[in-house]
Structure 1
Amino acid sequence: MASMTIRNLDDALKQRMRMRAASHGRSMEDEARDILRAALSTAGQRPTNLARAIRARIEPLGGVELKLPARDPIRDFLARDYS
């Protein structure tokens, strides 16, 4: 198995990692492995369509109801007298 070292890690981030690991009852190293495993296991499943990606993000929240403003009829520019 490979190993890696992460340098210049922000102190606040390290503290959050320590707290998260403790809440899951494991070491920081185990927690980091789990975070990397979870993050990288879904990376290849990104939708290529932006609309689908947005819909997938919003649907679990119940969707969004948008109020559309009233629209005026399309103006007929060709019927105008420009003289």
Structure 2
Amino acid sequence: MATLLVRGVDEALVRRLREQAVANGRSAEAEHRAILAQALGGTDRLSFAEVLSSMPDVGQDADFERIQDTGEAARVFD
């Protein structure tokens, strides 16, 4: 990832950025990235939250429960 340094930004603009970041539950840096991505069309990479939200809501909780193995295979580290 690249680093972007922006000099000479008006204090009022920085204050508004911080206020908007708080309102969106992000850091000022994350808000800055989001604004740039929105203005410039974003990236081809999905965020972790986007990947999770795109997963289908299927199955029951029991389908994903861990099965405890009590046989010989369970003692591989003894």
What TM-score, normalized by structure 1, do the two folds share?
0.49
1:20-59 alignment runs, 5 A limit: 20-41=20-41
**Size of the alignment, in residue pairs?**
42
Deviation of the 1:20 alpha carbon: 0.2
Q: Tell me the CA shift for residue 16 of structure 1.
A: 0.2
Aligned residue number for residue 16 of structure 1 = 16
Q: Which runs of 5+ in 1 are unaligned?
A: 43-83
CA distance in 1 between partners of 2:8 and 2:37 (Å): 22
Question: Which has the greater radius of gyration?
Answer: 1
Residue ranges of structure 2 left out of the alignment (5+ in a row):
43-78
C-alpha distance in 1 between matches for 2:36 and 2:8 = 18
**What is the CA deviation profile of residues 43-68 of structure 1, one whole-angstrom value per residue up to 9, with x for unaligned ones?**
xxxxxxxxxxxxxxxxxxxxxxxxxx
Matched to 1:29, the amino acid is E
Q: Structure 1: which 4+ aligned runs deviate by more than 6 Å?
A: none
Quick one: distance in 2 between partners of 1:38 and 1:8?
22
What's the counterpart of residue 2 of structure 1?
2
